[in-house]
Amino acid sequence: QVQLVESGGGLVQPGGSLRLSCAASGSIFSLNAMGWYRQGRGKQRELVAVMSSGGRTYYLDLVKGRFTISRDNADNMLYLQMNSLKPEDTAVYYCNTDPPRQKWGQGTQVTVSS
């Protein structure tokens, strides 16, 4: 069973930055597109950013220019650098394949508030 463990969330003021990390066990990582998802309170989970195994990226329009996804295939790590954070970015952030095929991890809470 593949495990996905997210970390790096926290409380940050508007305009601040955070870097999220995702550790993926198992052999799924290097062969698949990996993505960051988020779910705000009372909202559906949405795809925020994706990076293919070859390095191509996709970003939700709302985060373009502010978020950067990256991956380290050797270490099975996925990252999300989030800059210029806004209150509307507040959510629990998760990683998974794209499309999501693995069991969801616990996620990491990001709260943007003054």
Q: What are the mean pLDDT values of the chain's consecutive 10-residue runs (114 residues total)?
A: 91 98 81 94 97 94 98 92 98 96 95 97
Tell me what pLDDT residue 26 has. 67
Cα–Cα distances in angstroms (integers) from residue 53 to residues 50, 74, 84, 106, in the given order: 10, 12, 27, 24
Tell me what pLDDT residue 36 has. 98
Tell me what pLDDT residue 61 has. 98
Positive or negative: CA dihedral 56, 2, 47, 60: negative
Tell me what pLDDT residue 2 has. 78
Tell me what pLDDT residue 74 has. 86
